[in-house]
Chains A and B, each alone.
Chain A
């Protein structure tokens, strides 16, 4: 509860539309209703390059519920579901 100042612009990547681009602010694994335990989800996201400060862009969306999404993280493209992307707070 330290980010009151940027609350206006920051949002979970899980809600971002195709074409959105921003920078990762923090990982909030408790916010994602993932089947994975929080620390496990956090570790996996970091291993795929989702760390604070990384530049992300939503490139593609699936057909069912606009899910999953293909995200450009720096210079890698990662596919993930919106459910897990909820843990990535971007602005």
Chain B
């Protein structure tokens, strides 16, 4: 007889290693989806126990209690209590604890016991605990808590066998069903009592070393120093931007010449005609011009994932809290905003750790102003076409500096917008508290970083293969039809639908210095920013023939004035050109209103800033 699917849920305080354990148990058999209604990632994985039982495992956001103060904590609470529609009540809760830091998790576990669900305590990070001289009397702890206790080293799959064996054991005892749910929100004095009880149990079963983690203390002495700490933070950010520009270059050139060769191959093998034009101009030069930026996207995600895994992000939030407070932002907003440098979508989703609704809303509104990786293709293309590759002050690269300036402009405008929101819209604002655990530093795990970078790269390529590809087909079609009448003068594209549409919008954008080719590229660029680069690639390729397709940068340099280029750069700092971001804002804020606010304020900013840039540049003689 087939046993029914066993439902397991991972619960624990933040940073206790739930996701690592999830990965260790399920390997690649994971699927990521959204909880209905809210955009919180729902991670479910599957595995089979030694006894042959099918298990479904869900990874839940970290929490200190079941009170559910913020959207992500509510997910955990509802899941544990079986209140999530369409989700099974977990048959077994795996309560994951950082073995070096048991106090808060044991208190959570005592609270979880009230739910009546069967439970097992997993003492994770047992390697670190052992190294640091924490010794745990596991049988005694298990007896005092009244739940089975196992140890594990999630990142090395240590202890997994025992965990699975115990799971089978618990699953086999079907005659002892789950107890009744007696959980209710605890009052302060009950919380106190459970913490006391937890401390008492820990004292009886755990011996702690006299000294805390010296590594963490030594690193923090520098990294959290009021002055040196901020300097280091600025240095890290600066390094990140230089890396994105300088280190990625060789790889990008390699990719770029590969696509050129491919285009050339298609050109040489296929007969002149529609199919040749479609493959070479539409597909290869369009999609290729986006894929070229994969190295830069990998580098930016690599930096962010490394900082996250190391445990630096919480420190950055600590350093920036009061500084961002001046602009009406919460210290916790720093992490979502920093991830928005990679992509605004995970950034906006990460705002769910902010419990105060206003703080969260402000952060969501400004997250798209952070320079996401999709802007990199646009920036890089224009910068390399117009900004000379020169060293300034010895060791700074001028292009790197311009890129840094664009990032800085994004940050500054985000802070400005947040300040205005606080000042005009949320006047009666009392700063919500900032309380955050600073976890011990951990050596980043190559494997988990690799998994993270791989997933992001895959998402980028999938986008290139779907959204960008379909947009490119559209652009190619618009730019190729109708064909030029016989005996017409000038490039054929001038007679196409694209030209007709572009020229219709051109008057609107002409004050910004944009020509019709840019106008055409900006429309599909509403779907995703990098599409604009691909669209420009296609439009100019069809217009200019083969040599244009090879060197889109060179073509731009001859066709645009510096003022136009600068104006377009500035446009891209602000313009709301990403359909997915807007969709996520709508879901996260639960309505169209804030999505519309975001769209129009960013559009207005983009227009005004580009207008100013173009006119100033022209006045200075760059027209």
Contacts and interface: CB of A to CB of B under 8 A. Distances in A.
A79 B438 contact: yes
Contact of B318 (A45, A49, A70, A76): A70
A4 B226 CA distance: 37
Contacts of B104: 47-49, 76
A35 B433 contact: yes
B430 A67 contact: no
B322 A68 contact: yes
A51 interface: yes
A62 B225 CA distance: 8
A44 B69 CA distance: 10
Interface in B456-502: none
A46 B195 contact: yes
Given A35-B431, A43-B191, A70-B438, A75 B323 contact: no
A74 B103 CA distance: 9
Given A48-B64, A78-B438, A79-B438, A62 B322 contact: yes
A68 B101 contact: no
B352 to A, nearest CB: 17
B322 A79 contact: no
A61 B224 CA distance: 8
A60 B224 contact: yes
A8 interface: no
Given A68-B331, A79-B435, A81-B433, A49 B195 contact: yes
Given A77-B438, A79-B318, A63 B226 contact: yes
Contact of B430 (A35, A61, A72): A35
A43 B188 contact: yes
A26 B317 CA distance: 28
Interface size bracket, A side: 35 or more
B67 interface: yes
Interface in B403-438: 430-438
A70 B212 contact: no
A74 B107 CA distance: 14
Nearest to A81: B434
Contact of B101 (A36, A75, A80, A84): A75
B435 A61 contact: no
Given A49-B104, A61-B226, A43 B67 contact: yes
Contacts of B435: 44-45, 48, 78-80, 84
Contact of A63 (B188, B217, B220, B227): B227
A45 B433 CA distance: 11
Contacts of B199: 51
Given A70-B224, A74-B103, A46 B438 contact: no
Contacts of A75: 100-101, 103, 208, 212
Nearest to A87: B433
A62 B316 CA distance: 11
A62 to B, nearest CB: 5
B196 interface: yes
Contact of B437 (A45, A63, A77): A77
B157 interface: no
Contacts of B439: 77
Nearest to A27: B188
Given A47-B104, A60-B224, A63-B230, A79 B433 contact: no
Contact of A78 (B69, B226, B437): B437
A79 B220 contact: no
B192 interface: yes
A11 interface: no
B192 A80 contact: no
A44 B434 CA distance: 11
A44 B435 CA distance: 9
A45 B195 CA distance: 11
B168 interface: no
Interface in A17-51: 34-36, 39, 41-49, 51
> Which of A34, A35, A51, A59 has the most chain B CB atoms closer than 10 A to its own CB?
A51
Interface string B380-401: 0000000000000000000000
Contact of A49 (B103, B220, B229, B230): B103
A35 B428 CA distance: 11
Contacts of B229: 63
Interface string B306-323: 000000001001110111
Contacts of A34: 433
Contact of A47 (B107, B216, B220, B331): B107
B152 interface: no
B220 A36 contact: no
A44 to B, nearest CB: 6
A39 B322 contact: no
> Which of B196, B212, B229 has the most chain A CB atoms closer than 10 A to its own CB?
B212
B538 interface: no
Contacts of A44: 69, 433, 435
B559 to A, nearest CB: 48
B23 interface: no
Given A46-B191, A49-B195, A76 B65 contact: no
Nearest to B69: A44
Contact of B321 (A39, A62, A66, A76): A62
A12 B539 CA distance: 67
B64 A80 contact: no
Contacts of B314: 79
A1 interface: no
Nearest to A71: B438
A63 B430 CA distance: 21
4 cross-chain pairs, A with B, having the tightest CB-CB distances, nearest first: A64-B322, A35-B430, A63-B226, A60-B224
Given A59-B224, A64-B326, A70-B318, 16 more contacts: A35-B356, A44-B69, A51-B192, A61-B226, A62-B318, A64-B325, A67-B321, A68-B318, A75-B100, A75-B208, A77-B220, A79-B318, A79-B436, A81-B322, A81-B431, A84-B435
Interface of B: 64-65, 67, 69, 100-101, 103-104, 107, 186-188, 191-192, 195-196, 199, 208, 212, 216-217, 220, 224-227, 229-230, 314, 317-319, 321-323, 325-326, 331, 356, 430-439
30 contacts: A35-B356, A36-B432, A43-B186, A43-B188, A45-B435, A47-B64, A48-B104, A48-B435, A49-B103, A51-B192, A51-B199, A52-B192, A61-B226, A62-B322, A64-B326, A65-B322, A68-B434, A70-B224, A72-B212, A75-B103, A75-B208, A75-B212, A76-B103, A77-B220, A78-B436, A79-B331, A80-B434, A81-B434, A83-B431, A84-B433
